[in-house]
């Protein structure tokens, strides 16, 4: 067995022995499904205007900028498929081995894979709301219009519909953040997947687990500030989760 294989075996042992396993996922998990990483080398934010895409002031001035850029990236998500990571995490939850899944991603792929307890700390396009009245509607309904790049409007008052994604200039959803923190506190094992842990307060979640005596495992293709404090670090998400899938199938 080479070094990486030994690490995967150790990862499986840690997961099998955990009493309260919590997982925290970032953009690296979406990338496996062909969704562009916001901040990577070929990231969405490196294209013109995309830094303004999730700016709340820009949205209020001109929502067509968001909807124009989001037509494929968000509203074309129907065509994207869950990766081995999404699938294995859903299976772990189904078997009662995973208690909570915290994500920074806004692509709904965990839900599509079958995960039920998903805590979306950057909000979610699952719900859209009117910026003028209390009207709310779901992703499917808005996507019919937004998939073409057109701005969707409220059928009650004509106001612009906004996704319940947290934009720059908005606060993170307080309830989701509180729940994420209490899950990390309860976790005896936290798996951090596909995030470089640079954005606070998300970056502080591994510390919450560590302070309450839990172990942290990091799987990411780049180093993070927490690596030296982690019980285990792996670099290849796809390979490590193919290994876990094989263990689940054999088990």
Cα–Cα distance for residue pair 221/178, rounded to 1 Å: 28
For Zn ion, which is the closer residue by CB, 131 or 231? 131
60 as an active site residue: the answer is no
Residue 199 binding Zn ion, by CB under 5 A: no
Please report, for residues 72, 99, 111, 242, the alpha-carbon distance to residue 163 in angstroms, rounded to integers and kept in the order given. Answer: 15, 27, 17, 33
Cα–Cα distance for residue pair 36/42, rounded to 1 Å: 8
Identify the bridge partners of residue 25 per DSSP, sorted by sequence position: 103, 193
Task: Name the minimum Å distance from CB 71 to Zn ion.
Answer: 22
Catalytic residue among 117, 122, 128, 211: 122
| Residue from 9, 133, 199, 246 binding Zn ion (CB under 5 A) | 133
Q: How many residues bind Zn ion (CB under 5 A)?
A: 8
Subset of 202-241 contacting Zn ion (CB under 5 A): none
Task: Name the minimum Å distance from CB 137 to Zn ion.
Answer: 10
Identify the bridge partners of residue 193 per DSSP, sorted by sequence position: 25, 219
Cα–Cα distance for residue pair 125/90, rounded to 1 Å: 20
Subset of 65-84 contacting Zn ion (CB under 5 A): none
Subset of 136-195 contacting Zn ion (CB under 5 A): 154, 156-157, 159
| Residue from 15, 130, 177, 202 binding Zn ion (CB under 5 A) | 130
Coil/strand/helix, residue 34: coil
Question: Which spans of this chain sit near Zn ion (rule: CB under 5 A)?
Answer: 130, 132-133, 135, 154, 156-157, 159
Catalytic residues: 122
């Amino acid at each position: 067995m080479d070094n990486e294989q030994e690490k995967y075996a150790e990862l499986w042992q840690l997961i099998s022995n955990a009493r309260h396993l919590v997982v925290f996922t970032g953009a690296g998990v979406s990338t496996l499904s062909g969704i562009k990483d916001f901040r990577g080398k070929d990231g969405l934010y490196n294209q013109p205007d995309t830094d303004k895409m999730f700016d709340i002031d820009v949205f209020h001035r001109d929502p067509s900028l968001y909807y124009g850029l989001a037509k494929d990236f968000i509203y074309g998500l129907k065509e994207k498929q869950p990766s081995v990571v999404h699938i294995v995490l859903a299976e772990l939850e189904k078997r009662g081995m995973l208690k909570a899944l915290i994500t920074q991603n806004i692509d709904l792929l965990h839900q599509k894979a079958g995960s039920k307890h998903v805590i979306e700390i950057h909000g979610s396009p699952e719900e859209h709301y009117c910026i003028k009245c209390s009207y709310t509607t779901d992703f499917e309904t808005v996507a019919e219009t937004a998939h073409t790049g057109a701005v969707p409007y409220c059928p009650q008052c004509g106001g612009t519909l906004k996704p319940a994604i947290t934009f720059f200039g908005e606060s993170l959803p307080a309830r989701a953040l509180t729940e994420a923190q209490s899950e990390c506190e309860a976790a005896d094992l936290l798996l951090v997947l596909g995030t470089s842990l640079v954005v606070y307060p998300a970056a502080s979640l591994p510390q919450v687990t560590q302070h309450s005596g839990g172990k942290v495992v990091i799987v990411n293709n780049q180093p993070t500030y927490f690596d030296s404090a982690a019980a285990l670090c792996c670099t290849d998400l796809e390979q490590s989760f193919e290994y876990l899938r094989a263990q689940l199938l054999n088990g």
